[in-house]
Amino acid sequence: MSLPSRLLGVQVNRRRRTLWALSSAALVLSLLGIAISWLTPSIRAPLRPGLDFTGGTQIQLARSCGSGCSALTAAAVEDRLTSIPLPAEEGAAAPPNLRGAAVQLLDGGQQVVLRLPSLSAEQGQAVVEGLAPVIGPTDPAGLSVETIGPTLGSRLLRASLISLAVSFVGISAYITIRYDRLFALLALLCLGHDVLITCGVFSWLGLLGGVEVNSLFAVALLTIAGYSVNDTVVIFDRIREKRVQLTELALSEQADAAVAATLTRSLYTSFTTLLPLLALILFGGSTLFWFAVALSVGVVVGAWSSVAIAPTLLPVLARS
Partner 1 sequence: MARQQGWFALILALAIAAGALLMSFPLQLGLDLRGGSQLTLQVMPAGAIKRVDQEQLEAVKEVLERRINGLGVAESTLQTVGTDQLVLQLPGEQDPSRAARVLGSTALLEFRAQRAGTEQEMQGLLQLKRQAEAVLGLARARQAALGNGETPPEVAEASFPAEQLAAALRQLGVEVPDGASEADQLELLLDTVNTRIVELYEPAAFTGKELVTAGRQQQQSGSGWEVTLSFTQTGGEQFARLTKEIAGSGRLLGIVLDGRSISEASVGPEFQAAGITGGSASITGNFSAEEARDLEVQLRGGSLPLPVRVVEVRTVGPSLGADNIRTSLVAALSGLALVAVFMVLVYRLAGVVAVVALSLYALFNLALYALIPVTLTLPGIAGFILSLGMAVDANVLIFERIKDELRSGNTLIRSIDTGFNLAFSSILDGQLTTLISCVALFALGTGFVKGFAVTLGIGVLLSLFSALTCTRTLLRLLMSYPALRQPTYFLPRVQLPAASS
Binders of partner 1 among residues 60 to 119 (CB under 8 A) are 60, 62, 90
Chain positions 24 to 43 lying near partner 1, rule: CB under 8 A, are: none
CA 309/CA 298 separation, integer angstroms:
15
Q: How far is the CB of 155 from partner 1 (least distance, A)?
A: 7
Q: Are 186 and 19 in contact (CB under 8 A)?
A: no
CA 307/CA 180 separation, integer angstroms:
19
- Cα–Cα distances (Å) from 113 to 1, 51, 135, in that order, read 53, 13, 12
Selected range binding partner 1 among 22-30, 34-42, 75-83, 274-282, rule: CB under 8 A: 274-282
Regarding 120 and contact with partner 1 (CB under 8 A), the answer is: yes
CA 172/CA 143 separation, integer angstroms:
45
Q: Which lies closer to partner 1 via its Cβ, residue 37 or residue 266?
A: 266
Q: How far is the CB of 68 from partner 1 (least distance, A)?
A: 19
Q: How far is the CB of 152 from partner 1 (least distance, A)?
A: 5
57 closest CA partner among 153, 142, 133, 135: 153
Q: How far is the CB of 279 from partner 1 (least distance, A)?
A: 4
105: Cβ–Cβ under 8 A, 6 or more apart, which residues? 72, 73, 74, 111, 112, 113
CA 200/CA 206 separation, integer angstroms:
10
Q: How far is the CB of 49 from partner 1 (least distance, A)?
A: 16
Q: Which lies closer to partner 1 via its Cβ, residue 40 or residue 60?
A: 60
Regarding 176 and contact with partner 1 (CB under 8 A), the answer is: no
Q: How far is the CB of 21 from partner 1 (least distance, A)?
A: 28
Q: Whole-angstrom distance between the N-terminal and C-terminal Cα of the chain? A: 32
Q: Considering only residues 75, 85, 208, 283, which one is a binding residue for partner 1 as defined by CB under 8 A?
A: 283
Chain positions 7 to 26 lying near partner 1, rule: CB under 8 A, are: none
Q: Which lies closer to partner 1 via its Cβ, residue 204 or residue 291?
A: 291
Regarding 275 and contact with partner 1 (CB under 8 A), the answer is: yes
In the shown chain, the binding pattern of residues 131 to 150 toward partner 1, with x for contact by CB under 8 A and - for none, equals: --------xxxxxxxxxxx-
Q: How far is the CB of 11 from partner 1 (least distance, A)?
A: 19
Q: Considering only residues 277, 297, 309, 314, which one is a binding residue for partner 1 as defined by CB under 8 A?
A: 277
Chain positions 204 to 243 lying near partner 1, rule: CB under 8 A, are: 215-216, 218-219, 222-223, 225-227, 229-231, 233-234, 236-238
Specify burial of residue 78 (Cβ count, 10 A radius: 0-12, 13-18, 19+). middle
φ and ψ at residue 2, rounded to 5 degrees: -85, 180
277: Cβ–Cβ under 8 A, 6 or more apart, which residues? 292, 295, 296, 299
Label residue 34 left, alpha or beta by phi (over 0 means left) and psi (-120 to 50 means alpha).
alpha
In the shown chain, the binding pattern of residues 252 to 271 toward partner 1, with x for contact by CB under 8 A and - for none, equals: ---------xx-xx--xx-x
Chain positions 290 to 309 lying near partner 1, rule: CB under 8 A, are: 291-292, 295
Which of helix, strand or coil describes residue 59? strand
